[in-house]
Chain A
Amino acid sequence: MMETVNNEFVIGQVQDFLPQIGRVVLAGNVELAVFRTSDGSIYAVENRNPHPKGGPLAEGIVSGKYLYDPLYDWKIDLRTGEVQAPDQGRVAAYPVTLNGDSVSVSLNGTAVHS
């Protein structure tokens, strides 16, 4: 049912993603943490904690366009993957497009890699 076009992955319908609660999606060989913010936008970042000790991100608390990571409480900008001061780091963020209710993520080299 899911289709892949040029490393574009359709990852589901908007309603599959609960507001402000992350969901884990394996797209190709990249594990994503996908979030629907309260304004209805969807963001996808790699499900890998930028903290040196690692771990997941999908279970964090979402506030506006920011994520508080579930293990070390780092604050991360979902739009860019940038870790906010006083901590430092970055997680790969991937562009998401909505086509009606259909959600797709592009893993084409546009990802912001750390």
Chain B
Amino acid sequence: MSLEREKLVLIGNGMAGVGTLEQILKLGGAYDITVIGSEPHPNYNRIMLSYVLEGSKTIEDIILNDLGWYADNHITLHTGTTAVRIDEASRQIVTDNGLNIPFDKIIIATGSNSFILPIPGNTKEGVVGFRDIADCDAMLAAAKQYRTAAVIGGGLLGLEAAKGLVGLGMDVTVVHLLEDLMERQLDHTASSMLKAELERQGVKFAMGKQTVELVGEERVSGLRFSDDTVLPAEFVVMAVGIKPNVQLAKDSGITVNRGIVVDDFMQTSMKNVYSVGECTEHRGVCYGLVAPLFEQGMVLAKHLCGAATQPYEGSVVATKLKISGVDVFSAGEFTETAEHTVISSKDEWKRTYKKILLKNNVIVGAVLFGDITDSAALQKLVKQGAEMTDEIYADVMGGSGCCGGGAKKGVSVAAMADEEIVCGCNGVTKKAIVDAVTENGFTTVDEIKACTGATRSCGGCKPMVEQILQYVLGDSFQESAKQGICSCTTLSRDEIVAEIQAKGLRTTKEVMHVLDWKQPEGCSKCRPAVNYYLGMLYPDTHEDEKESRFVNERMSANIQKDGTFTVVPRMYGGVTTPEDLKRIADVSIKYDVKVVKVTGGQRLDLIGVKKEDVPKVWEELDMPSGYAYAKSLRTVKTCVGSQFCRFGTQDSMGMGALLERKYERLDFPAKFKMAVNGCPRNCAESCTKDIGIVGNDGGWEVFIGGNGGIKPRIADSFCKVKTDEELVEVCSAVMQYYRETGNYLERTSEWVERLGLEQIKSAILDNADNRKELAARIDFALAQVSDPWQKMLKDDKTRTALYERTTV
């Protein structure tokens, strides 16, 4: 008889619950695990939604456990499924879509919902919370369509939402009931400094205002306050707080106050049913921040695996605002009373503020604004309930002067116990980080993150992890912290380009010599890159270095694993003629081509041409090079368009061929693909191209930054134009801007993400002079290029050396 594993069901597929499962798996817990989640996504990092809104991360970036993780750990996952009731008698969970899931043990981690103010108009269109991916999507969509937004609530979440919407180009007012922002985490001084800083960044505020109604028709158009004034807003985010999601527990007869009531081992009032996270109430407290949730999860995981554990006794809460350029931190108690001793310093010029509260000489709280270098140390001190000493005082308050600031921090990291937890979110100890660094030779926080998980969730421990890294590496830290374009140099792309211009450097050799490359002639990564930058900067005078080109570009053909090559002739806009096809067929037969393949870019690829035959094939084809081997314009894919198609509104074949002829042969940072469509049916798939063009009745719409490759990305709508001339000018400007600012090998999909669509728009669409200059510069560069196959056929010496085999 086989021993069946106990069935453990997690209700709620979020960070708290899945974090607990990860701990259980780590501890080797022998459970048959099922997960039920209401959202259609795998577990993602909810804390990082602010970054998604800000545009610095994508949804994909913030997925913590992809579907493969569930499969690898033999976890059954039901997404888009909501548990409605736990039937204790039959030991089954009933779901909204009719499943009955049997259990032996349950973890409830249903989290919380946005608290929606109970005021008239709160169900109007255009009113959202800020809790999940769906809310985030709604905000991104609103920013495209509307201009004015109001965020109700001046707390952590509200401010992050407001800053995100400002970044998306909206006019945003934060409406707050009280006079101080983040009053639950900051004192009055820090709060005022925060407000001033955010105002500088474009956020508006309506303080001391109570919203009593959302006005408008079907869609919201404004907020009415208790003083009867009205603030116009086409989009409203409610960020007044969260409400533990306790419906399931309540309906199943489990004891609920504000949250689901648990004991010190996270046990609810129902046997075998546990609860962690924001839905949980422990000793009268519901937590809304991530660190406590993971601490609860650790205790529960150990308890469920039968490992010894201390009971959970509550958490010291620390907060960090995730808005770039605004550093705020608080931990423990932050509002002084008569019984506190206060240490504080405020620098109005540098806009920094630091306050530490002592109670009977014990450090009980801290607030930092502007400079949060000491946040990790202070959080630890508050958590430990450390007594203030001269050493600690000197460490956190003293000598921000020249000597030994770093050394002192080194001492405090050195003094940490090995078993002390550095990353509270993922339970990573100091020892685990030190071991990871010494065993694997890591030099960056990212490597530590990938290996141990530290800094992966909220990122609050990053300063501490950096200090540990610095402590382990000693003097080599600084050097390794700066990453160059390859291991030959510590310089970045921008620094190299600036130096080339400033010093007038002309060859890769000169660049590498003057800029002190570690390997004097560079490597296979930097030589092609520097050669590209030189050609981009000096289109007329740079002598292209064949020896600095990757094989395919040097040979103007693609090498295959057996050393044969492929030949792809141009077919402008994917259009050919019977005569050309006949010639391709004849040449293919004559030179015994192994395969003739129709490519994804609408042309033909002759595969398996012997190296010495390559120039002969070119000569007999007598067609221009298709540049299938190059970091350059590959093809312009087209649909049939208005010449023949009954739906066509624009001549896509004609425009495609025109664009392909205009921009062919020029070097780009990476390969470049385009498409032109005659109507919005988009048969030539503009959304996955570097530039995608869609014709409509009155003109063209341009999309940029699409990619269908390794990391697919749907192109962003860039602009609409009326005439063909405008279209060409916009394409020219986008391409040249990419040529001038792109990193070598960086596709436009990554480039758009790195620069931000707004920056590209403002450089090209909002600035007509700049657009015309960019277009003029690409025209100048285009005037210098010629067909490489013809050139090679005329250069006997190079051709013989490159393609022919000498027999002796």
Q: How large is the interface on B (under 10, 10 to 19, 20 to 34, 35 or more residues)?
A: 20 to 34
Give the complex CA separation of A71 and B808 in angstroms: 27
Q: Is A77 an interface residue (CB 8 A)?
A: no
The reply to whether A55 and B527 form a contact with Cβ atoms under 8 Å apart is: no
Give the complex CA separation of A61 and B545 in angstroms: 11
Interface 0/1 of A28-52, CB less than 8 Å to B = 0001000000100000000000000
- Chain A residues in 8 Å Cβ range of B523: 61, 63, 68, 75
Q: Is B559 an interface residue (CB 8 A)?
A: yes
Query: Known contacts A21-B554, A55-B561, A59-B551; is A38 also within 8 Å of B524 by CB?
Result: no
The reply to whether A59 and B527 form a contact with Cβ atoms under 8 Å apart is: no
Q: How large is the interface on A (under 10, 10 to 19, 20 to 34, 35 or more residues)?
A: 20 to 34
Which partner residue on chain A sits nearest B512 by CB separation?
A: A63
- Chain B residues in 8 Å Cβ range of A10: 808
The reply to whether A61 and B559 form a contact with Cβ atoms under 8 Å apart is: no
Q: Is A90 an interface residue (CB 8 A)?
A: no
- Chain B residues in 8 Å Cβ range of A14: none
Output the residue of A16, A31, A59, A68 with the most chain B CB within 10 A.
A59
Q: In the assembled complex, how far is the CB of residue A104 from the closest CB belonging to chain B, in whole angstroms?
A: 9
- Chain B residues in 8 Å Cβ range of A9: 808
Q: Out of A11, A12, A25, A62, which one reaches B547, CB within 8 Å?
A: A62
The reply to whether B547 and A26 form a contact with Cβ atoms under 8 Å apart is: no
The reply to whether A55 and B563 form a contact with Cβ atoms under 8 Å apart is: yes
Q: In the assembled complex, how far is the CB of residue A72 from the closest CB belonging to chain B, in whole angstroms?
A: 9
The reply to whether A19 and B547 form a contact with Cβ atoms under 8 Å apart is: yes
Query: Known contacts A18-B798, A64-B520, A68-B524; is A59 also within 8 Å of B806 by CB?
Result: no
Q: Is B225 an interface residue (CB 8 A)?
A: no
The reply to whether A25 and B559 form a contact with Cβ atoms under 8 Å apart is: no
Give the complex CA separation of A11 and B805 in angstroms: 11
Give the complex CA separation of A24 and B528 in angstroms: 23
Identify which of residues 80-95 in chain A touch chain B, using a CB-to-CB cut-off of 8 Å.
none
The reply to whether B559 and A11 form a contact with Cβ atoms under 8 Å apart is: no
Which partner residue on chain B sits nearest A4 by CB separation?
A: B808
Query: Known contacts A9-B808, A17-B801, A38-B521; is A60 also within 8 Å of B561 by CB?
Result: no
The reply to whether B805 and A59 form a contact with Cβ atoms under 8 Å apart is: no
The reply to whether B555 and A71 form a contact with Cβ atoms under 8 Å apart is: no
Give the complex CA separation of A70 and B524 in angstroms: 9
- Chain A residues in 8 Å Cβ range of B806: 11-12, 16, 23-26
Q: Is B185 an interface residue (CB 8 A)?
A: no
Give the complex CA separation of A73 and B559 in angstroms: 13
Q: Out of B559, B804, B807, which one reaches A71, CB within 8 Å?
A: B559
- Chain A residues in 8 Å Cβ range of B519: 63-64
Give the complex CA separation of A25 and B563 in angstroms: 15
Q: Out of B548, B563, B611, B802, which one reaches A61, CB within 8 Å?
A: B548
Give the complex CA separation of A27 and B509 in angstroms: 33
Give the complex CA separation of A5 and B756 in angstroms: 66
Q: Out of A2, A25, A60, A63, which one reaches B521, CB within 8 Å?
A: A63
- Chain A residues in 8 Å Cβ range of B611: 24
Identify which of residues 495-532 in chain B touch chain A, using a CB-to-CB cut-off of 8 Å.
509, 519-524, 527-528
Q: Is B550 an interface residue (CB 8 A)?
A: yes
The reply to whether A55 and B808 form a contact with Cβ atoms under 8 Å apart is: no
Give the complex CA separation of A27 and B808 in angstroms: 5
Give the complex CA separation of A9 and B520 in angstroms: 32
Give the complex CA separation of A59 and B554 in angstroms: 9
The reply to whether B805 and A70 form a contact with Cβ atoms under 8 Å apart is: no
Q: Is B562 an interface residue (CB 8 A)?
A: yes
Q: Is B546 an interface residue (CB 8 A)?
A: yes
Which partner residue on chain B sits nearest A19 by CB separation?
A: B547
Q: In the assembled complex, how far is the CB of residue B520 from the closest CB belonging to chain A, in whole angstroms?
A: 6
Identify which of residues 535-574 in chain B touch chain A, using a CB-to-CB cut-off of 8 Å.
546-548, 550-551, 554-555, 559, 561-563
| With A18-B802, A53-B561, A59-B554 already in contact, 5 other A-B pairs whose C-beta atoms are closer than 8 Å | A12-B806, A25-B808, A26-B805, A59-B551, A70-B550
Which 6 residue pairs are nearest across A and B when measured between Cβ atoms?
A68-B524, A20-B547, A70-B551, A2-B808, A56-B563, A63-B521
9 A-B residue pairings within 8 Å (CB atoms): A17-B801, A18-B798, A18-B801, A21-B554, A21-B801, A24-B804, A25-B807, A25-B808, A63-B527
